[in-house]
Amino acid sequence: MRDCQSDFFSCVSHECYRAISIMHVDLKIPLMQRVVIMDDNESRGRMLGSLLERQGVTVLAAITDFRCLTDCVEHHSPQAVIVSTTSPDGELLAQIDKLQESGGCPIVLLSQNISSEKLRSAVDAGVNAVVFAGLNGNNLLSAVDLAMADFAKNKTLRSRAAEAERALRERKIIERAKGTLMKQRKVDEAVAYDLMRRRAMEQGKRLVDIAQSSSRAGPRSKRFWHGNGRAS
C-alpha cells in the first residue's frame, strides 16, 4: 500500500504522477506554525490537516468554500494559509488577491494540475510558495517557511514603496506651497523654504503640514504667512 504521507495527492486521486525524489533534510524549522487550510476536497483536507498536526503544526480551521477565506483569516489570524486544490481557477485566485489586499497572509498553494499560465496568475494574486506533488511533512513545512519568508520580504518591499510614494506626495505639496509663497513674497526659493521651515519649527509641526495649511488657506494664504500661520 502506498504511503499517503509520502505522496499526498496521489493517495486521494486516481490519476498517476511521476515519482518525485525528495531529499529528507532536517531544516530545523520551528514547529510553531498556526495555519488555516482551504481545500475544495473535504476528505483530502482532513488528510492534510492530520499530516500537518503530526508535524507539530496547529490547524486553526479547515474550510472548503474559498469565499470564506478572507473572513476565516481575519477571525483566526494564522501565520500561514495552505490552499489545496486540484487546479486553481480564476475565482479562487480572486479570493487570494482579495485576502492579500486586505492585509494579507503567507499562502502556500498545493496543486496537482497547474499550467505555467495559472502559476504566474497565482503568484500575481499573492501566492508565496507552490507545491505540486510528492508532498510530505518535510517539504510541506519547508514550503510554509518559504511562504512566510517571501511574504515578509514582499511586505517590506510594499512598505518601502508606500513610503516612497508618500514622500513624493509630500514633496509635491511642499513644492507647490513654496512656489506660491515665492510669488506672493517675491522671494527666491531659498528664502521661501527658510520661511516655511521656521514656521514649522515655531508651531512644532512638520514642513508638509505647514504646506498643506497654506494650500487650504487658498486666497487667504497671504494672511496665513503674515499672521500666526493659521487660516482664518
Residues 109 and 125 in one domain: yes
pLDDT at 89 (0 to 100): 87
Q: For the chain (length 232 residues), average pLDDT per consecutive 10?
A: 45 33 34 82 89 88 91 92 88 90 87 80 87 62 69 72 84 89 86 88 88 74 56 39
Dist. CA 78–CA 84, nearest whole Å: 16
* CATH code: domain of residue 80: 3.40.50.2300
Residues 35 and 97 in one domain: yes
Residues 134 and 168 in one domain: no
Domain end (from 115, 140, 158) = 158
Q: Residue 85 contacts by C-beta under 8 Å, 6 or more apart in sequence?
A: 39, 40, 41, 92, 109, 110, 111
- Residue 75 amino acid letter: H
Residues 152 and 202 in one domain: no
Residues 186 and 148 in one domain: no
Determine, yes or no, domain membership for 124.
yes
pLDDT at 227 (0 to 100): 53
Rg (CA), the chain: 27
Give the residues across from 129 on adjacent strands.
108
Determine, yes or no, domain membership for 82.
yes
pLDDT at 23 (0 to 100): 31
Residues 126 and 173 in one domain: no
Tally of CA atoms within 13 A in the half-sphere of 95 that contains its CB: 17
Determine, yes or no, domain membership for 192.
yes
Determine, yes or no, domain membership for 62.
yes
Domain end (from 158, 184, 199) = 158
pLDDT at 76 (0 to 100): 93
Residues 37 and 86 in one domain: yes
Number of domains in the chain: 2
User: pLDDT digits over 104-115, tens only?
Assistant: 888 989 887 777
* CATH code: domain of residue 191: 1.10.10
Residues 85 and 182 in one domain: no
Domain end (from 140, 158, 176) = 158
Determine, yes or no, domain membership for 232.
no
Domain hosting 174: range is 164-226
Residues 27 and 142 in one domain: yes
Determine, yes or no, domain membership for 3.
no
DSSP assigned state of 33:
-
Determine, yes or no, domain membership for 198.
yes
Determine, yes or no, domain membership for 231.
no
Residues 13 and 128 in one domain: yes
Residues 103 and 206 in one domain: no
Residues 151 and 176 in one domain: no
Q: Look at residue 32 and give its three-state secondary structure.
A: coil
The arrangement of strands across the sheet holding 80-85 comes to: 58-63, 34-39, 80-85, 107-111, 129-131
